[in-house]
Amino acid sequence: MPVLVMKFGGTSVATLDRIRRAAKRVGVEVSRGYDVIVIVSAMAGETNKLVGFVQDTSPLFDAREYDAVVSSGENVTAGLMALTLQEMDIPARSWQGWQVPLRTTSAHSQARIEEIPTDNITAKFGEGMKVAVVAGFQGVSPEGRITTLGRGGSDTTAVAFAAAFGAERCDIYTDVDGVYTTDPRICEKARKLDRIAFEEMLELASLGAKVLQTRSVELAMRYKVKLRVLSSLSEQTDGSGTIVCDEEDIMESNVVAGVAHSRDEAKMTLVSVEDRPGIASSIFTPLAEAGVNVDMIVQNISEDGRTDMTFSCPTDQVKRAEKALNDARTAGHMTFTDIKADTGVAKVSVVGIGMRSHAGVAAKMFRVLAQEGINIKVITTSEIKISVLIDRKYMELAVQALHDAFELEKAG
């Protein structure tokens, strides 16, 4: 039998009624002849509640016990989904990560998947089981301890299962009905995309789009897993949602596929750093070791052997970054006169594979922002992306202006 993977996010399984609704969708696919692997998240809000329990109990918690607690939400959902399917006379069984077993590294709370053996679930399919309901977000370490994959890890679980089982498709059910050209809450002209390339989706996910976890898109691109993003809260049709696929599977598209934004950005500047070989390593190595996610980097012109180094990072990592840099200075690894942190900025990006073969996208983007009186603080580019840091108060205006300028409301 062909295999289909269906993943249901927290809002899709938030109540027993929504679990029943999701189970009916699974039943439709079973009736079409699929063996179905269902990946479930914890019920909406449950993981946050469990994280709060851990933090209130032990502020300096043991990461192994953290994983044991926060992974339990998915176990509950998996059992309830299996029971619901059984009530519908569909042979179903729930699986926790260790039962598969989904083998991961030992990096608790941020584990990476190493192997998903297919023997156990395949054997059960052979015995008549039609649906394997697997708890997402979790696995088992080489030491036999429960691990978790980081927030949003159920998306990664689903794609990894689709790759391991050679699934025909991986359907990601969420509270939105697909991938949009930008956030519909900011721009009412935002259009749902029928298809988007893996590379574009990867950039959008990394730049603030919350539809898919970045690691899940990386896995899908590497293993050529066809993804479909659709809503569990609306009526399903065969052509609904957005397909995330290879660039070659898209006939025509706009030069720019979408506008992404991230409001939780900070701009940090090291003032008067010595300009010498190895200084970048001296700055960014301690930041990496402290777990600071550095994004945009700009080095100013050197003057009298000194320079300023500017970078962006998430706002909730500013204190960690300041401590890491001050510790490095105290240890004699570098010198600087000051650290300036601006937490009132946002990142706005345009993304599109069409930018490879079309000139003038950057010029148009900068012209549009200038016309709106928006000053650009930092710029970074890649082959299919241009990102800028701007004052956060102008973020929504910038998104709307760029969406209009590139006519993203129109199909390619």
Confidence (pLDDT) at 211? 78
Confidence (pLDDT) at 302? 75
Q: Is 124 annotated as a binding residue?
A: no
Residue 162 in any domain: the answer is yes
Contact 79, 94 (CB under 8 A): yes
Contact 63, 141 (CB under 8 A): no
Q: Which phi and psi (to 5°) does residue 357 adopt? A: -115, 5
How many Cβ atoms are within 10 Å of 80's Cβ, its own excluded? 19
pTM: 0.82
Q: Is 8 annotated as a binding residue?
A: yes
Q: Please report, for the domain that includes residue 166, its CATH number.
A: 3.40.1160.10
Confidence category of residue 208, pLDDT binned at 50, 70, 90: low
For the stretch 8-34, pLDDT in tens is 999 999 999 999 999 999 999 999 999
Its sign, for the CA torsion 290, 292, 296, 300, is negative
Residue 280 in any domain: the answer is yes
Q: Is 20 annotated as a binding residue?
A: no
For the stretch 384-402, pLDDT in tens is 999 999 999 999 999 999 9
Residue 135 in any domain: the answer is yes
Domain boundary among 112, 143, 175: 175
Q: Is 74 annotated as a binding residue?
A: yes
Residue 234 in any domain: the answer is no
Provide the 3-class DSSP secondary structure of residue 3. Answer: strand
Range of the domain at 293: 259-405
For the stretch 227-259, pLDDT in tens is 999 988 776 556 688 999 888 877 667 799 999
Residue 100 in any domain: the answer is yes
Q: Is 10 annotated as a binding residue?
A: yes
Same domain, 7 and 151: yes
Confidence (pLDDT) at 239? 61
The number of domains in the chain is 2
Provide the 3-class DSSP secondary structure of residue 167. Answer: coil
For the stretch 117-172, pLDDT in tens is 999 999 999 999 999 999 999 999 999 999 999 888 999 999 999 999 999 999 99
Q: Is 380 annotated as a binding residue?
A: no
Q: Please report, for the domain that includes residue 372, its CATH number.
A: 3.30.2130.10
